[in-house]
Amino acid sequence: MMLAERFDATIVSADSRQVYRRFDIGTAKPSIGERTRVRHRGIDLVEPDDRYSAGLWAEMARAALAEAQLTRRTPVIVGGTGFYIRALTIPLSQTEQLDPGRRSALNRLLGGWTTSELRRWCDQLDPRVAHLGRTQLLRALETALLAGVRISTVRELAPRQEGISARYLVIDPADGLAERIARRIRQMLDSGWLDEVRELDAGLSEDAAAWNATGYAVMREHTRSRLSREEAIDRVIIQTRQYAKRQRTWFRHQLSGDVVTTLDPRRQDAAAEAVAWWERAA
């Protein structure tokens, strides 16, 4: 926000959960005031029960980048869904269209499986993508079982769009991350997260895609009196720490070289360093 306000930039959210409408507090969406002060794209794109993908996000992001250029704003991609960022910088190929009915039935079956179980199955069907996250594992299994082809093969052979070159500012508080996560979750609760979850639970099916956002299913169990408040908080903290660990691993392995600058936000000169990073590309 500081950089975007100072340099008149457009923020493009690369957060796979902020695309869903009404899932606001638990996904830490920017406030209405923040969106008034700085132009945002990539937020509130689809309904909670819609399926969304990295490919669709990349299409939206390309349009947002073009719009920013037309209005003489610098676009800045913000968010931690590494697969979305990869889809923009190293575009994914198009896979075959899958039958919606069969896909829905398969998703109901696979939805009850743990990520480890999905990974073991994917290791047999498409081992080259078996290291990826849950969403990508599900997509790989769908493609292998319903299209009869490995998604890694399709991506290898299909024509690709040209990728977008980028520079990266990776904000990482390192050993202070656990405390920040715990504090942030309690702030979300103080901001009305449970009321939001109750309202969503009253009007959404239990298998709506947006419930996969970290913490929401756990807080739904609390609002249904199946978990105590402290039990729910502890579980969400653990989930968030695990997700943050996967994020840090992804950025460490996928991004390297002089295009990457890592910044600890706790440093007194962090804001000045961020400005210097921005201005080096001007």
Consecutive sets of 10 residues in the chain, 282 residues long: mean pLDDT of each?
A: 96 96 97 96 95 85 94 92 84 56 82 90 91 85 82 64 84 88 97 98 93 96 97 96 88 84 94 95 75
Residue 100 pLDDT: 65
Helix (H) or strand (E) holding 32: helix 32-37
DSSP conformational letter for 20: B
Q: How are beta strands 74-78 and 40-41 bridged, if at all?
A: unpaired
User: 27 is written with which tokens?
Assistant: 């996904």
Tell me phi and psi for residue 46, to 5 degrees.
-140, 165
Measure the CA angle with vertex 48, ends 211 and 52; round to 5°: 95
Q: How many CA atoms lie within 13 A of 158 on its CB side?
A: 15
β-partners of residue 99 are: none
CATH architecture label of 100-157: Orthogonal Bundle (1.10)
* CB atoms inside a 10 Å sphere around CB 279: 10
Distance CA 209, CA 217 (A): 11
* Beta carbons of 115 and 50 less than 8 angstroms apart: no
Q: At what angle do helices 54-70 and 82-89 cross, to 10 degrees?
A: 60
Provide the pairing of β-strand 40-41 with 9-13.
Answer: parallel
Q: Coil, helix or strand for 40?
A: strand
Report the pLDDT value the prediction gives residue 98, as an integer from 0 to 100.
63
Q: What is the pLDDT of residue 257?
A: 82
Residue 147 is predicted with a pLDDT of 74
Distances (CA, A) of 137 to 31, 124, 230: 32, 12, 32
Q: How far apart are CA 265 and CA 182, in angstroms?
A: 17
- Residue pair 118/138 in contact (Cβ under 8 Å)? The answer is yes
For domain 2-92+162-280, which architecture applies?
3-Layer(aba) Sandwich (3.40)
Beta bridge pairs of residue 171? 263
User: Domain spans of the chain?
Assistant: 2-92+162-280, 100-157
Say what the pLDDT of residue 74 is: 93
pLDDT for 173 equals 87
pLDDT at 281: 80
